[in-house]
Amino acid sequence: MDDKLIINGIDDLISKFNKLESEDFYKDVQNRNAVFDLDNTLLIGDIGDALFTMLKIKGFDVKLSWQEYEKILQNEGKEVAYSKAVSVMAGLSVNIIEKITKEILTLDTSVIEIENVKVRVPKPHPVMLKFIEFLKQKKFNIFIISATNIFSVRIAGSYLFDIPKENCFGINPEILKSKNKEKFNEIILSERIKKPLTVSTGKAELYNSIISNTRPLITAGDSESDVLMLNLVDKRGFSLWIGDDIKRYKKIKKKIDTPDRFYYFPNIILK
């Protein structure tokens, strides 16, 4: 393992950036883009898991148990599992999703528990929070592309990181107006998911079709399903992988187009 590829905190991360800033491509302010995954990248924890848990705790009719969700994840993969976790919220209003997401982000506890499973309450990663602020000072356009529902992503992105909601993307269910006379103007979720599904190939597809046809200068993720998004990065920029398993990093590195600029950020701080 090349020690030069290991990030040891915010000062080291900024130092890596500063070595590249002198290059001409950083002068193109209009196309100075950075793209981040959300859960376990910008956040310590997973807002989608926490929302699913809190909805169950509060008694909302979410027709999926935690065990069923984990079984789908294991047997059918992330695209099916994450899509299912959003589609089972059909019938709930956008207002409810946003309200409970805000509630989760302001909890004082570190975990919430359901079905004998403890789920971490997501908090902003302190190093990534500082890095986002640094990139704002450098006039970067910052985007989030997540496999969590788009409404929670927008709340987390805007509330915790002051990223414009229109720059935050996630799994996007079709929405309908409520037929309930007492809640006629409420917008509710349907079980149908709009394309692209922001998991794996869908993250890269969304960036290219909706955000920009110019490659981002920085990308960051924490999962094998982020590889295609990580590989969007301009060959003169760099990408980050946040994790606690060096073997997993090395395995993912083999799939990265610019491995010499694919940095490993060990999340020791998360333990």
Which pLDDT score, from 0 to 100, does residue 31 have?
75
**Which sign, positive or negative, has the C-alpha torsion 219, 16, 164, 111?**
positive
Q: Strands of the chain (E only): list them.
A: 33-36, 43-44, 111-114, 117-120, 123-124, 141-149, 168-171, 173-177, 187-193, 218-221, 238-243, 262-266
pLDDT mean for each 10 residues of the chain (271 residues): 81 86 63 93 94 92 87 87 90 94 95 88 94 94 96 97 97 80 72 93 96 94 94 92 88 94 76 46
Structure tokens at 135: 């990139």
Which pLDDT score, from 0 to 100, does residue 162 have?
97
Which pLDDT score, from 0 to 100, does residue 18 have?
83
Number of domains in the chain: 1
Which pLDDT score, from 0 to 100, does residue 26 have?
60
Report pTM. 0.93
Q: For 159-199, how does the pLDDT look when each residue is reduced to its tens digit (9 = 90+)?
A: 999 999 999 999 999 988 765 555 556 888 999 999 999 99
Which pLDDT score, from 0 to 100, does residue 127 have?
93
Task: Give me the amino acid identity at 97.
Answer: I
Which pLDDT score, from 0 to 100, does residue 239 have?
95
CATH of the domain at 98: 3.40.50.1000
Supply the range of the domain harboring residue 228.
3-270
For residues 182 and 79, give the distance between their C-alpha atoms in angstroms, rounded to a whole number: 36
Report which secondary-structure segment, H or E, holds 80: helix 78-87
Is beta strand 187-193 parallel, antiparallel or unpaired with respect to 117-120? Answer: unpaired
Which pLDDT score, from 0 to 100, does residue 154 have?
98
Which pLDDT score, from 0 to 100, does residue 70 have?
86
Q: List all residues 6 or more positions away from 28 whose beta carbon is below 8 Å from its beta carbon.
A: none
Which pLDDT score, from 0 to 100, does residue 22 have?
61
Task: Give the dihedral of Cα atoms 83, 85, 86, 92; nearest 10 deg.
Answer: 160
Report which secondary-structure segment, H or E, holds 238: strand 238-243
Find how far residue 154's CA is from the centre of its chain: 10
